[in-house]
Amino acid sequence: MRIAMLSALRRDRRGVAATEFAVLAPVMILLITATVEAAHIQMVQTSLEGAVATAARESVARMSLSDDERDTLMRERISTLMSSIPVASGRSLEISTQAYRTMGSAYPEAFEDANGNGVYDEGELFTDRNHNGVRDVATPVAGKMGDVGDVVAYQVTYPVALYFPFLSPIFGETRDITTATVARNEPERSGSGPPP
C-alpha cells in the first residue's frame, strides 16, 4: 500500500510550479534587491561628486568673501544639493578642506627609499622641488579655503543607509561614500573694481 502511494505521488505533477518558485524566488529576490542597492550606491556617489564639484566651483569664484563665509556657503551648498538623499541614522556629512599655495606643494617631495622601510630617513636622496635643501612634506597654507590663486582640496564623506537592511551582510550597515576634488581659487578678488 505504501509503495503504491509513493509511486502515485511521484507521478503527480500538481504543485511543481509552486515548488520551483519556492526554490528560485529567494535567489531572484536577492539578485534584484542587490542590483537596486548597488545602483542606489552608485547614484549617491555620482550625486555627491556633482555636488562637491558644483560647491567647489562656486567657492573658488567668491574671493571677495571671507574664508569662513566661503566655507559656510560651500558646506550649505553641498548639504542642499544632497538633501534628497537621507543620511544614515546617527551619522552626519563630513567635509574637510585643505589649501595649498600650488599643486606641487600638495604632496610630499619624492625620495629614494634606500633601506626599503617606506619612510624618509635622514640622508636619503629626494627631489628638492623648491630648492630649499630640505625635504618638504605637503605644505598647506593657513585657513580652510585658501587665498587668491591657492589650490584647495575638498574631501566629502556621505554616510548612506541601505534601502534593504537585510543586505547589510553584503554592503554593511551603512556605506560611507567619499569623493574628493581639487580647485584653484580665482587669481584675483572679484568685486574689487578695475585695477588702478
pLDDT at 193 over 70: no
Give 30-78 pLDDT, tens digit per residue: 999 999 999 999 999 999 999 999 999 999 998 889 999 999 999 999 9
Give the dihedral of Cα atoms 129, 131, 132, 134; nearest 10 deg: 50
pLDDT at 4 over 60: yes
* Cell (9 digits) for 20: 520551483
The residues spanned by each domain of the chain are 15-101+139-184
Give 166-187 pLDDT, tens digit per residue: 999 988 888 999 999 999 998 8
Residue 194 has what pLDDT? 39
pLDDT at 105 over 60: yes
pLDDT at 11 over 60: yes
Residue 190 has what pLDDT? 62
Give 129-171 pLDDT, tens digit per residue: 777 788 877 777 888 898 898 999 999 999 998 989 999 998 8
pLDDT at 196 over 50: no
Distance between CA atoms of residues 46 and 48, nearest Å? 5
pTM of the prediction?
0.73
Cβ contacts of 160 within 8 Å, gap of 6 or more: 40, 41, 44, 85, 86, 87, 88, 174, 175, 176, 177
Distance between CA atoms of residues 75 and 143, nearest Å? 15
Residue 1 has what pLDDT? 66
Task: Work out the mean pLDDT of the chain and round it to a whole number.
Answer: 87
